[in-house]
Structure 1
Amino acid sequence: MRLHRRHRALSALLAIGASAAVVLAPTVAHGATDLAVVLEERTGIHEPGAVVAFRTPDCPADTLGWRVTNFDGVVVGSGTDVAAAATRSLPAGVATTPGIYRLTVQCGAATGSTRLVRSAGPATPDPFFSFAVAGNAPDVVRTFSALGGGSYRQDLQWQAVEKTAGRFDFTPIDARVDRWIRDAGVPPLFVLDYGNVAHTGGSMTPPDMAIPAQRAAWQRFVTTTVQHLRERYPDADLSYEVWNEWNNFHGRFPSTPEAYLPLAEVTFHAIRSADPSARVVGPGVNAVSQKERDWMDRWFAAGGAQWVDAISVHPYSHPWAPEQCVNGTGCIEATLAALHAQSASHPSASGSPAPIWITEVGWPATGVTGVGEADLAAYLVRTHVLAAQNGVERVYTFELNGGTTGARTFGLVQDTPTGFEPRVAAAAYLTMQRTLAGMHVTGGSTTGSVRVVEFSSADEQRHVRVIWQNTDRFTDQQVAVPLPSNGTLVDPFGASKPVTPTKGVLQMTAKWSPRYLVWQD
């Protein structure tokens, strides 16, 4: 992840118009901070029928008041609980419709709140829907699974496993990775990256492939690491990304693809020799602005694709929407279309076109490029749909969990002292994952600003059209969508209703946040 702002003039943001440029203020994780409201379900995600149980550790009184509001702020339940119990539960019928809710509790003069998600059902893992994660606590893994994560990405830094030259210690890595691979069966994407004080003079300084001692030390790190992980997880689906954002942070080396490729070639051969079944992924660079796109053009031209099994990019474009191209800065949609075309004409290590993996993408909640809750939800879904339409094989959202302040406010769920609090984007992501997992794109259309992308199941029996508009977050647009039979319209947070077409067409509205039209043959 880049920690600096993309170098874009503020005037560009102002020039694109108020309807497209408004950046909503981020929503704080809790309403008031003087009363902790702790959900027993620490992920904050509740399946149908699951009881919403909560505690208020700082409330000594037996009686407390509570209310539940939906995404629109409408009260869907309220009451007074007089039970003298440590754990209390919402009554039957409250917050049962799929969606995101806020539970607010009052104890005397103190008030606190937390958000929760009611899902429409469990999610089935699919590697297309993957995450970068922070930490490995059981709650992280459970939240990952609740959202249908299919693969996870983590750094495996040279300095972390070889603190003393020639002595490798994987104990800390094993403790973290066991929980994902051995216990949960989640396929990993490891990022082999950064320097080593003992060999390169700095923990962030890359090895110089022109210096034999540094080349040999890096090869030894890669070979030892890959062999260790294959021996420890003999049946796992293992993938390795070669470095992280060379064109963004690279120590003393030039940020050029020409400087990166010697490292990529050496690493490719070391991985292939140590574990022929492992995937090699790269270059893992930012790839949206014109300068970044030029970097990728040179990488392809210099033969970079021959050293990978999958092409990885980080198409960050915040605060803009994925379809919103700004002069000189590009956009996610155009980037993916260009990469898809380039990969077709530049063979990978297998001799065939390499699939594209987005190994980081997201929007922060804070800072000049931060976006609001509703925009984050809409942009992530739209990015996944556009990625699928352009043949992307995996998308690793950056990131699953994170804080509410500082540089890393990208998380779909926010870290709290007692678990995780889901953001609006978590509810939207879960709806998307449950609706589209295991499906493939079969068509799409653009009419003005209205987008329609069609997916079908592997047996071609279940179909979904994803519909949205990208002009104005506040104004819906009428659209006629083909619908061959009765179907179901699913809203961004999972609530659904039956719909009936007239002469094979459904008249509906296209909104800023995608909705899903589902039917069966």
Structure 2
Amino acid sequence: MTHHTPRHTRRRLRTVVICTVVGLAFALTPLGLAGSAEGATLRVRLGVVSVSTMYAGSDYAGEAAQVSGVGASSIRIPAKWNLIQPGAAAAYNWSQLDQAVRAARTEGLDVLLNLEGPAPVWAQKPGADPLANGNAPLDPQDFRTFARAVALRYSPYVFAWEIWNEPNLSHYLIPPTADEYLPLLRAAYSGIRSSGATQPIITGGTSSSRGDTRDISFIERLYLLGGRPYIDGIGVHPYTFPYPLLNDPRFGDGGGAAVLRWIRSAMLAAGEGNKKVWITEFGQPTGTSSMSVSEAKQASIVTDALSLANSADWVAAIFIFNSHDLVAGPSILDGNMGLYRHDGTPKPVVAAITSLTGG
């Protein structure tokens, strides 16, 4: 998700009725994407995305309570390299990340820790715009050092690691190519494993935007370049707003669900059938932007996606973006994707999810 604004146990899945996805479901069933999970068990890991470590003054305890309250087992927390290691010396600012991880564990939440850029100014390439959010480091070994330090500190509290965010978009990685990303992934993988951490390492969730590098092309190229040893799962962000995951009329290929199918096919072609797809972001904005929907429709779209992910045994997890609205005004798309409103009151999607999780 391109952010333009300031941003435990598993439970029984109760009755799920899919009203909007039947028409396209059958085209996707060969890869296990069925349209309903009525009477099933919530197999897939359900999480919620946090962006609070990006902003000072965040209420980490309150957010963790919100996430736990919907019955989610997990929270995705960003570890922003430029904010944690602003200087080249080994002086790390762990304050915000410590608070976020502590709050999550207090609520019994598992942590997916997202090691995210940009590279701090001291590590950037010569001539880079120091304000660009997509800056990669000149030397990937600097990112390895960072990843190792993060893993040494947080490994006991983390169930999986995600490396970078939407690396197929120039907003997050310059240039947004698998050739640029693989050295970062390899370095982070090495750094984390050298710390003794053994949790799964997931590729940075790719955006399903049709801009910059297409997600499927990015993943295919990543395998072609020899990325397989550094991949324990593939991260994806199959956004389709303002439409449901299985019914996006802008694409004749099934929208975001087709992206999942294509990426799964690429994994199978690479001999990676034993690994899984991780939906590390999916959501739907409310408010007044051109791609927003009513709060009731948001609830429908999110629960449909949950059911779809639950029906595919090769999908490991789905994380809903995000916990709460980041702004009070309704016109900012990225600022109104929360399960809870800016004032902390729940949107209908909260009741819809808890009806599935028993949260």
TM-score range, shorter chain: 0.7 to 0.9
Aligned to 1:253: 174
Task: Report the equivalent of 2:270.
Answer: 346
**Partner in structure 2 of residue 132 of structure 1:** 49
Pairing partner for 1:220 from 137, 145, 155: 145
Residue matched to 1:412: 339
| % identity of equivalent residues | 22
For 1:121-200, list aligned pairs within 5 A: 128-133=45-50, 134=52, 135-166=58-89, 167-181=91-105, 183-194=106-117, 195-200=119-124
CA distance in 2 between partners of 1:380 and 1:156 (Å): 26
Amino acid at match of 1:353: N
Question: Which residue identity does 2:321 align to in structure 1?
Answer: F
Instruction: State the Cα distance separating 1:343 from its structure 2 match.
Output: 2.4
- Could you say if the C-alpha distance between residues 127 and 382 of structure 1 is closer, same or farther in structure 2, counting changes exceeding 3 Å? closer
Secondary structure at the counterpart of residue 414 of structure 1: coil
1:401 is paired with a residue whose SS is: coil
TM score, norm. by length of structure 2: 0.76
**CA RMSD, 1 decimal:** 2.6
Change (3 A) 1:127 1:322: closer
Judging changes above 3 Å, is the alpha-carbon distance between structure 1 residues 141 and 215 closer, same or farther for their aligned structure 2 residues? closer
Closer/same/farther in 2, CA of residues 251 and 286 from structure 1, 3 Å limit: closer
> What TM-score do you get using the length of structure 1 for normalisation?
0.53
CA distance in 2, matches of 1:426, 1:336: 25
- CA 1:388–1:345: 2 relative to 1, 3 Å: farther
Structure 1 position 331 matched with structure 2 position 281: no
1:317 counterpart (235, 240, 263):
240
Q: Distance in 2 between matches of 1:393 and 1:423?
A: 26
Which of the pair has more CA radius of gyration? 1
Question: Does the Cα contact within 8 Å between 2:44 and 2:315 map onto a contact in 1?
Answer: no
Q: Any idea what the Cα deviations from partners look like across 1:188-246, whole Å, max 9, x if unmatched?
A: 111112110122163635334xx4xx33322211111111223xxx3x34321111111
Considering fraction of residues, name the structure with more helix: 2
Alignment match, 1:376: 298
Query: Aligned partners of 2:187, 2:352: CA distance in 1, in Å?
Result: 41
1 or 2 for the larger relative contact order (CA 8 Å, sep ≥6)? 2
The alignment status of 1:393 with 2:316, answered yes or no, reads yes
C-alpha displacement at 1:125, in angstroms? 9.8
Q: Which runs of 5+ in 1 are unaligned?
A: 5-123, 438-521
1:192 & 1:337 partners in 2: Cα distance? 26
| Number of residue equivalences | 301
Q: Is contact 2:235–2:279 with CA below 8 Å preserved after alignment?
A: yes
Secondary structure of 1:247's match? coil
User: Shift in Å at residue 127 of structure 1?
Assistant: 6.5
* Counterpart position of 1:283: 204
Match of 1:341, SS state, is helix
Secondary structure of 1:399's partner?
A: coil
Alpha-carbon contact 2:114-2:163 (below 8 Å) kept: yes
Cα distance in 1 for partners of 2:234, 2:191 equals 18
Q: Secondary structure at the match of 1:129?
A: strand
What amino acid does structure 2 have at the position aligned with 1:371?
Answer: V
Residues 439-478 of structure 1: pairs in structure 2 closer than 5 A:
none
Q: 2: distance between equivalents of 1:411 and 1:225?
A: 27
Aligned residue type for 1:355: K
Q: CA deviation at 1:3?
A: 4.2
Cα separation, partners in 2 of 1:311 and 1:409, compared to 1, 3 Å: same
For 1:330 and 1:261, locate their aligned partners in 2 and report how far apart those are by CA, in whole Å.
29
Aligned partner letter, 2:148: T
